[in-house]
Amino acid sequence: MRKLLLNLHLYLSLTAGVFVIILGVTGSIMAFETELNHLFHPRLTYVAPQAKALSLAEIGAAVLKTFPGERIRAYTLSTSPNISYQVGTGQGTVYVNQYNGEILGIQKGPDSVSNALNFIHQFHMRLAIRNQADTGEEIIKWVDVVILFLLLSGLYLWWPAKRVTIRKGASSRRFWFDVHNTVGFFSLAFLLTLAITGAIIGFEETTTPWFYKITGTRPYIVYNRATRFDVTPPADAKPITPDEAIEIARAALPGAAPFSINVPGPKDVYFIRARYPEYLTGGGRSQVIVDQYSGKALAAEGSRTAPAGSRIITTNRVIHTGDILGIPSKVIMSLASLTLLAQLVSGVLMWWKREGKKRKAAAA
């Protein structure tokens, strides 16, 4: 049994090694996508916090003064006082200092940094392969299963000796053996967490319905392409402003901070995304639909009151990405992802040294 597991552990590592490295390296970078984007665009991103931000109407007026004739399509409000607001227009995304209305700059399309981060994201999720067969996604989800097997089989193989130290002055093969065991021991819990949550995401066609079934709940999506809220403009009605829509959203989800709002066309609705303080992921997972003429909240779903199945799915994702506790958990998950690389390299070198010893013995 032990020899069989050792051989499976070895040959699966050698076979799937390239994909394991891809997941480890790209995952460690993806944990800090937002922070990296801010780091490479400091002039557009950072502002000096002041007592009060301007209204969206004032910010919109500042944008239209600089870009006359443009139509404002959306506002992105920062929930951090030192991060600028963004205004979506036909030309691109305008970055605005929300305290004085200064136009910081405009991005007319993805730049090299954004393209690189997006490529890394797609490479992690599907090897940047997009086709009807979802080939990349299929490969990645089964690599997750392989990683899970390697972790559990590695624990079984490690258990008899329980070695967690690196011996000084040992041979190179013994050194890499100790590195492999020690790194594996201290990273096991985090790597198991990444592998399990990643497999749940990879097999979501099976796991998502199962979560709803065991919780006895149903998914509730208030706004997507399939469930639109079309409105008919009254003859003499005047649409409410984005500022008013934001206040309606705050009342619908007390305690949640709105951070994104569209500017609807004549027959559309306001779609506002919001985030509760304890929910640190970028998506927020809270949303409100507001009728632009009546000012009525047509639908509202907060991350605190979402169906149990939805909350399990969301929690699984934020654990996998490291968003659950903010920067501390991102650092942990990023380092854990890199230990996959350390484990693979140390394992391959350990195997190579052993094979070299065998070749020398055979030659002698």
pLDDT (tens digit per residue) in 319-342: 999 998 889 999 999 999 999 999
Q: Is 148 helix (H, G, I), strand (E, B) or coil?
A: helix
**Residue 88, CA distances (Å) to 39, 68, 185, 263, 285 in order:** 21, 14, 48, 9, 21
Which amino acid is located at 245 in the chain? A
User: What integer pLDDT is reported at residue 221 of this predicted model?
Assistant: 60
Task: Select from 28, 23, 29, 25 the least CA-distant residue to 142.
Answer: 23
Residue ranges per structural domain of the chain:
2-36+114-216+321-357
Q: At residue 271, what are phi and psi to the nearest 5 degrees?
A: -115, 110
Q: Say which residue, 335 or 361, is predicted with more confidence.
A: 335
Q: Say which residue, 168 or 46, is predicted with more confidence.
A: 46
Enter the pTM of the model: 0.86
User: What integer pLDDT is reported at residue 316 of this predicted model?
Assistant: 94
Using CA atoms of 354, 357, 358, 359 in order, give the dihedral in degrees to the nearest 10.
120
Q: Is 267 helix (H, G, I), strand (E, B) or coil?
A: coil
User: What integer pLDDT is reported at residue 225 of this predicted model?
Assistant: 43
**How far is it, in rounded angstroms, from Cα 259 to Cα 79?**
7
User: 222 falls in which pLDDT band (50, 70, 90)?
Assistant: low
User: 226 falls in which pLDDT band (50, 70, 90)?
Assistant: very low
Average pLDDT over every residue of 223-234: 64
Please, which contacts does 88-96 make with residues 24 or more away whose CB atoms are closer than 8 Å? 89/63, 91/67, 94/63, 94/66, 94/67, 95/44, 95/45, 96/59, 96/62, 96/63
User: What integer pLDDT is reported at residue 279 of this predicted model?
Assistant: 83
Q: At residue 107, what are phi and psi to the nearest 5 degrees?
A: -105, 115
**How far is it, in rounded angstroms, from Cα 310 to Cα 331?**
26
Share of the chain above pLDDT 90, in %: 70
Q: Kindly state the tokens that stand for 251.
A: 């009342």
User: 73 falls in which pLDDT band (50, 70, 90)?
Assistant: very high
**pLDDT at residue 20 tops 90:** yes
Average pLDDT over every residue of 249-260: 95
